[in-house]
């Protein structure tokens, strides 16, 4: 049952990531950073922080929501690709800003979510 839940939650998280990323990217034309992925990663970290801060004791729910939904909603692989693409295009300062925004923003968002929930 848990595996099916992870499968369904992962599908929902991936679809939501695709939709949110595309909406943000479309609304931010002209920005030199891939702001759609920054946004979904920070939102995902915030959501996972809230979920984690609620101290759920149900292991299956933690796997389904934490690993399934939030694991699929956020994307380290796309973040990595876009960081390297910026570097390869010799857009070093933009790459550094993108990496800093994603990492620091996600950590701060997780902490804020966890703090709100606890």
Is 74 annotated as ligand-binding? yes
Quick: pLDDT tens for 33-71.
999 999 999 999 999 999 999 987 889 999 999 999 999
How many CA atoms are closer than 13 Å to the CA of 53, on its beta-carbon side?
16
Tens-place pLDDT, residues 71-86: 999 999 999 999 999 9
Q: What pTM was estimated for this model as a whole? A: 0.93
Distance CA 27, CA 50 (A): 27
Say if residue 105 carries a ligand binding annotation. Answer: no
Domain residue limits, the chain: 2-117
- Name the token pair of 94: 């933009």
């Amino acid at each position: 049952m848990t595996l099916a839940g992870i499968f369904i939650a992962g599908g929902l998280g991936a679809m939501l990531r695709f939709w949110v990323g595309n909406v943000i990217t479309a609304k931010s034309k002209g920005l030199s950073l891939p702001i759609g992925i920054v946004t979904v990663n920070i939102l995902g970290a915030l959501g996972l922080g809230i979920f984690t801060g609620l101290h759920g004791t149900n292991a299956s729910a933690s796997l389904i929501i934490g690993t399934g939904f939030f694991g699929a909603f956020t994307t380290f692989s796309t973040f990595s690709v876009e960081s390297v693409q910026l570097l390869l295009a010799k857009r070093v300062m933009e790459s550094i800003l993108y990496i800093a925004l994603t990492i620091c923003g996600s950590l701060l968002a997780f902490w804020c979510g966890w703090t709100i929930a606890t």
